[in-house]
Amino acid sequence: MAGVSQGEAEFAYDMQTNRYQAPAVPDLHPLKIGAWRAPNAHTNAFARESQLDALAAKAGLDPVTLRRRLANDPRLLRLLDLAVETFGWEPAPGPTGRGIGLACGAWRQALVVAVAQVAVDKATGKVRVERFLEAVDVGLVVNPDGARQQVEGAITMCIGQALSEEIRFKGGHILDKNFDTYLLPRFSAIPRIQVVFADSGTTTTQGIGEPPVVPVAAALANAVFDATGARVTHVPFTPERVLEALKRVPAK
């Protein structure tokens, strides 16, 4: 991982070998930068969960079965079951053409499982998010309505991050200076959002502001693969990048 700490990279999967490398890159950011919600965790989850999805497809496994085999945390296993059941999804090895993707994430002691459904216009490369669910375990939820709004806001924010928000440079000049080209998600881009909280049976409460952002981009990328067979690995998934990914899909 370049330009991001390996902090928050570790996750509750049981693998024989884990190696995390985060080399320092001098002068990588010539401009002053600020923090992102769940810094490092969302970037690392995007890489990890995209790779796991690719491994599942190569092994002929559905993405949920692979994660159940690897998960060593009973909280995560319960959360996977809750997400799949609430979504009403019968996972199958991808790509299935249904456009459903899953990803898991963690922030501190909180766990999140996201399930996304997308439609991809193969002629234009445009991705439309049709449905998004997050199953969240943050321990005791003190204010359910406020917590739900935090999750809905995080999903909305990350739909923009994953699909449209980008600052472009050319010849040392910033090209995107206003919201006519830096595209925040409009109301029309927001899908049906479902939020479900796990009953973890604990009185301990974790923060809710940052965990929900962690798996969003990965779930959307995996949904694009399930819809088309194309892997998008560069955020945001602009129509141009999706079209380039579609060109790399082997002909049947």
Output the CA–CA distances (angstroms, integers) from residue 1 to 6, 51, 190, 234, in the order listed: 7, 14, 30, 14
Q: Is 210 a catalytic residue?
A: yes
Which among 55, 66, 124, 121 has a CA at the least distance from the CA of 91?
A: 66
Pairwise CA distance, residues 13 & 20, whole Å: 14
Q: Which of 8, 49, 134, 210 is catalytic?
A: 210
SS (H, E, C) 74-126: HHHHHHHHHHHHHHCCCCCCCCCCCCEEEEEEEECCEEEEEEEEEEECCCCCC
Beta-carbon count within 10 A of 42 CB: 27
Output the CA angle 79-235-231, nearest 5 degrees: 75
Q: List Cβ neighbours of 177 (8 Å cut-off, separation of 6 or more).
A: none
Active-site positions? 210
